[in-house]
Amino acid sequence: MLKGLHRLGQLTLAAFAKLGRAHLFLLQALAASWELVPRFPLLIRQMYVVGVLSILLIALSGLFVGMVLGLQGYNVLSDFGAEESLGVMVAASLVRELGPVVTALLFSGRAGSALTAEIGLMKATEQLSGMEMMAVDPVRYVIVPRLYAGILSMPLLAGLFTYIGIYGGYFVGVGLLGVDEGSFWSQMQATIDFREDILNSVIKSLVFGIIVTWIAVFEGYDAVPTAEGVSRATTRSVVYSAFAVLGSDFILTALMFGD
């Protein structure tokens, strides 16, 4: 009993210590943001690695999610004779929720895990120590470009996901199931609001971008520098990202649409 309590206390303290380290790490990285100016090519390179290389996954997933939404939406709406509203349903679901959330989850699996593994391995092979010994701060050289590349890539990828998803819904609804094309687009245009829907969607994906990339780079930087340590850090990166994205999505949705 006492042993269990002792262990619980240890775990709690360790969790808070890690949370503290993660916040100090983020502050350190943000304080070094000006380093992006002389290292702009590094940012571009990282945007290619985390952003451009994720495009295929995001585009294909967006297409399938949109097609499923089109099919399911049609089945439900046609019961009420409201299949003309399919465009609104597909667009609202994608813009408000699925675009930012599913992109963030896919992004953490595709790019976040890779970032964690890369940084963890750099630590395990003493590359980060080597940089410190060459008087180059690894936070500035390695972390800052990756952090900003993730933050900037996420809204662009979420936009792409949503865009392709809407066309997926259009293809199934209008192309295969015979929903009227004019109604599909015009109802969507009339209902989806720029500030309420699109701007909030961009804010959501930006917040998710910060959360997912922060977790990914921190887990790599904080990894135990062994093969097992890096593998555990990579798993934690994806699991924590999923929890953090879904949890913060609820809070953001409540703040944005909760009135």
Partner 1 sequence: MCQDPQNSIICIQGLTFSRGQRRIFDQVSLTIRRGSVTAIMGPSGTGKTTLLKLIAGQLKPDAGSIKVLDQEVSTLSHRALYELRKSIGMLFQTGALLTDLCVFDNVAFPLREHTRLPESMIRTLVLMKLEAVGLRGAQHLMPAELSGGMARRVALARAIALDPLMILYDEPFTGQDPISMGVLVRLIRTLNDTLGLTSVIVSHDVQETASISDYIYVLSQGKVVGQGTPEELENTPSPWVEQFLHGLPDGPSPFHYPAPSYAEDLLGC
Task: Pick the piece of the chain touching partner 1 (CB under 8 A) from 133-141, 180-188, 193-201, 204-212.
Answer: 133-141
Q: Report the candidate in 243, 224, 221 with the shortest Cα–Cα distance to residue 232.
A: 224
Residue 134 interacts with partner 1 (CB under 8 A)? yes
The C-alpha atoms of residue 181 and residue 238 are separated, in whole angstroms, by: 40
Q: Does 126 bind partner 1 (CB under 8 A)?
A: yes
Q: Which of 2, 80, 135, 258 binds partner 1 (CB under 8 A)?
A: 135
Decide if residue 44 touches partner 1 (CB under 8 A).
Answer: no
Under 8 Å CB-to-CB from 163, ≥6 apart: which residues?
Answer: 62
How many residues in the shown chain lie near partner 1 by CB under 8 A?
14
**Torsion angle (degrees, nearest 10) of CA 91, 94, 96, 99:** -150
Cα–Cα separations (whole angstroms), residue 172 to 161, 164, 181, 200: 16, 13, 11, 27
The angle, 0 to 180 degrees and rounded to 10, between the axes of the packed helices 200-221 and 227-257 is 160
Length of the chain: 259
127 binds partner 1 (CB under 8 A): yes
Contacts (Cβ under 8 Å, ≥6 apart) of 147: 29, 213, 214, 217
137 binds partner 1 (CB under 8 A): yes
212-231 footprint of partner 1 as x/- string (CB under 8 A):
--------------------
Least separation in angstroms between residue 48's CB and partner 1 is 13
Q: Which is nearer to partner 1, 13 or 254 (CB)?
A: 13
Minimum gap (Å) between residue 137 Cβ and partner 1:
7
Cβ distance to partner 1 smaller for residue 114 or 156: 114
The answer to the question of residue 129 lying near partner 1 (CB under 8 A) is yes
Q: CB of 119: closest distance to partner 1 in angstroms? A: 12
Q: Is 33 in the site for partner 1 (CB under 8 A)?
A: no
Q: How far apart are CA 116 and CA 215, in angstroms?
A: 8
The site for partner 1 (CB under 8 A) is made up of: 122, 125-127, 129-137, 141
